[in-house]
Amino acid sequence: MTIEGDETRARLLTAARDLYLEVGSARVSLREVARRSGVSAAAVYRHFDNKQALLQQVCGEGFRIFASYLMRALAAATPAERMVSCAEQYLSFAVENPRDYRVIFMSDADDVIALGPPHLDDGTHDPTFQFLVDRVKECMAAKVIARGDADEVATLIWSHVHGLVSLRLSGLLGRVGNDAAFARLYRHSVDKLLAGLKP
């Protein structure tokens, strides 16, 4: 694909994402996505077979960006530090990419593009959830998290951080204060959660 083609595809994905968040998947039209992207309706079909394919790519792009944040946690030196960094990267992704976060983690549960963790249709983990499971396993091996079902512990951690972030993005934690105050609350909460998981 040419640079121009890549740029057009990126504009289409952004327009589709924003339209999806405004009206929901049922009311997304390729014609409106094309209009917002400044291309012809026919041009959309050069990049995506249909609306479903476009929306799936919107979701896939969100997960690609999310995964790139999680990978940064691997730079930390110890299993415990990588776990803390993983939670930090989750927050950074949500704060810096709130619209992508909403698509992949705050969509209607019945929506066909709600493809988030913990499992894919074939029963395997989504790679981003598997990343968290792997961090849990290495923390268990290092004896900084009590041994147990790594999937269950990962689900607990994900539910905790997602709950905080989604409440913040929904405007329901306004009493906490500004973004810096929320970040302090988030870190304190994660610290307490991880302390409770120690052997």
Domain residue spans of the chain: 1-48, 60-196
Residue type, 105: F
pTM over 0.95: no
Residue 67 half-sphere exposure, CB side, CA atoms within 13 Å?
14
How far is it, in rounded angstroms, from Cα 186 to Cα 196? 15
pLDDT at 110 exceeding the cut of 80: no
pLDDT at 13 exceeding the cut of 70: yes
Between 120 and 168, residue with greater pLDDT: 168
pLDDT at 1 exceeding the cut of 60: no
Strand partners, 119: 125
- pLDDT of 64-106, one tens digit each? 999 999 999 999 999 999 999 999 999 999 999 999 999 989 8
**Neighbour-count burial of 128, counting CB atoms closer than 10 A to its CB (0-12 exposed, 13-18 middle, 19+ buried):** buried
Which CATH number, 3.50.50.60, 1.10.390.10, 1.10.357.10, 2.40.50.100, labels domain 60-196?
A: 1.10.357.10
Between 136 and 126, residue with greater pLDDT: 136
DSSP 67: H
Residue range 1-48, CATH number:
1.10.10.60
Q: What is the pLDDT of residue 119?
A: 44
Tokens 């792997």 sit at which residue?
A: 134
How far is it, in rounded angstroms, from Cα 56 to Cα 49? 11
CA distances 125 to 65, 69, 119, 155, 198, Å, are 18, 18, 4, 11, 25
